[in-house]
Amino acid sequence: MPTFAILAFVRWVHFAAAMILFGSSLFPFYAPTGRFLDRPLRRIVIGAGVVGLITGLLWVMFLLIQLVGDSEGGSTLEELTAFFLDTSFGPTWIAHLALFALALLVGVTLRRNSWTARPQAFGLAAVAAGVLVSQAFIGHAAAAMGSPLPGPAVHAIHLLASGAWIGGLVPLGLVLLGARRAGDAHSLGRGRDALRRFSTMGMLAVGLIILSGVNNALSRIDSPESLVATDYGRVLLTKVALFVLMVALAAINRFALLPRLSGRACGSVALDSLIRMIAAEEVVGMLILAAVAILGMLAPPL
C-alpha cells in the first residue's frame, strides 16, 4: 500500500508538471520574445510531458492498489480495464493521460528554433490547457456540490489561472537570466518588457485564483471553526498564507524592482535581485502545490 507521503509526492510532482507545461506554453502569447525561448521552452515542454505522464501512471497505479487492496489479487489487466472503464472517474483519467501524451508528442515534433510563432504553439497551449481542465474533473472537485458556482468548471479556472502564474515563472526566469548573461540594452529591454507583460497577466490570474479559490472553499468548508479544527482546514489555511506571501513577492517584483531595471548600471544589480525574487516566488508556488497535493487527500469537512 503506498504511504500517504509517497502518494502526496507523486501528486505534487504531477501538479507541478501540468502547471509548468501550461504556463510555459502560454507565455509566448502574452510575452513574445522572438526566438530566444524556442529551444529552452521545447525542452521544458518535453520534460514536463514525460514527468507528467510517468507520475500520472504512478498515481493511477496507487489508486488502483488502494481500490483493489493489493496487486497480487486478480489479473492487473482486468483491474486496469475495470478502473478505466467501469468507474465514474476512469474515462476522465484516460482523457487526462492521453492529453499529457499528446502534449509530449507535440513537444517532440516542435521545430527546435522557430516554433513559438507557428500554429503548433496554439495547439500545444490548447492541449496543455486540456491537461489542467481534465485535472479539474479528478479529485474532490468532481464531487463538489453546494458551491455558489458549478464546482468543476470553476475549479478548471482555478487550475488554469494558477498554472499560468506558477508555470509562467519558469520562462520568465529564463528571459531574465538570458538578459543577465547577455548584459546588452536589447536583452535588458526584452526582460523588462516580459516582466511587465507577465505582471499584467499575473494580476488577472491572482483575481481569478481568489474568486475560484473562495468558491472551492465554500463547497468544502462548513464553518469558520473547521478551518482551524480540521486537518483539511489547517492545510487550506497554510496554503492561503503561502498564497499571500507569493502575491507579496510578486508585488515587490512589479512595483519595486521593475522600475529600477532602467539604466545599464543599476539594471544589472536590480536584475540580480529580480532573478532571485522570481526564484523565491516559484519556490513558494511549489510549496503551495505541496499543500494542494496533501489537501486533495484529506477529507473536507463538508
Binder of ligand HEM out of 37, 131, 288, 294 (CB under 6 A): 288
Tell which residue, 258, 196, 189, has the closest CA to residue 31: 196
Residues 173-212: x where in contact with ligand HEM by CB under 6 A, - otherwise, as a string: ------------------------------------xx--
Minimum Å gap between C-beta 178 and ligand HEM is 25
By beta-carbon distance, which residue lies closest to ligand HEM?
213
Binder of ligand HEM out of 130, 213, 233, 267 (CB under 6 A): 213
Query: Which residue lies nearer to ligand HEM by CB, 271 or 284?
Result: 284
Q: Does 167 bind ligand HEM (CB under 6 A)?
A: no
Binder of ligand HEM out of 160, 172, 243, 278 (CB under 6 A): 243
* Alpha helices, H only, the chain: 4-30, 38-68, 76-86, 90-109, 119-135, 151-182, 185-218, 224-229, 231-252, 264-295
Minimum Å gap between C-beta 177 and ligand HEM is 22
Minimum Å gap between C-beta 221 and ligand HEM is 7
Query: Which residues, 6 or more positions from 250, have their beta carbon under 8 angstroms from its beta carbon?
Result: 199, 202, 206, 281
Query: Which residue lies nearer to ligand HEM by CB, 63 or 214?
Result: 214
The sign of the dihedral angle between the CA atoms of 241, 173, 56, 202 is: positive
Q: Which long-range contacts (CB under 8 A, 24 or more apart) does 254-263 make?
A: 254/195, 254/199, 254/202, 258/192, 258/195, 258/196, 258/199, 261/188, 261/191, 261/192, 261/195, 262/192
Query: Which residue lies nearer to ligand HEM by CB, 172 or 289?
Result: 289
Residues 142-161: x where in contact with ligand HEM by CB under 6 A, - otherwise, as a string: ----------------xx--
Q: Does 131 bind ligand HEM (CB under 6 A)?
A: no
Q: How far apart are CA 132 and CA 56, in angstroms?
A: 12
Query: Which residue lies nearer to ligand HEM by CB, 17 or 246?
Result: 246
Binder of ligand HEM out of 216, 230, 270, 281 (CB under 6 A): 216
Please check whether residue 100 is in contact with residue 118, taking contact to mean a CB–CB distance below 8 angstroms.
Answer: no
Binder of ligand HEM out of 217, 227, 251, 277 (CB under 6 A): 217
C-alpha cell at 228: 482551524
Query: 33 - beta bridge partners?
Result: 35
Grid cell 498554472 is found at 163
Subset of residues 13 to 72 that bind ligand HEM, contact rule: CB under 6 A: 15
C-alpha cell at 171: 520562462
Q: Does 240 bind ligand HEM (CB under 6 A)?
A: yes
Give the end-to-end CA distance of the chain in Å, rounded to a whole number: 27
What are the residues binding ligand HEM (CB under 6 A)?
Answer: 15, 139-141, 158-159, 162, 165-166, 209-210, 213-214, 216-217, 220, 236, 239-240, 243, 246, 285, 288-289, 292, 295-296, 300
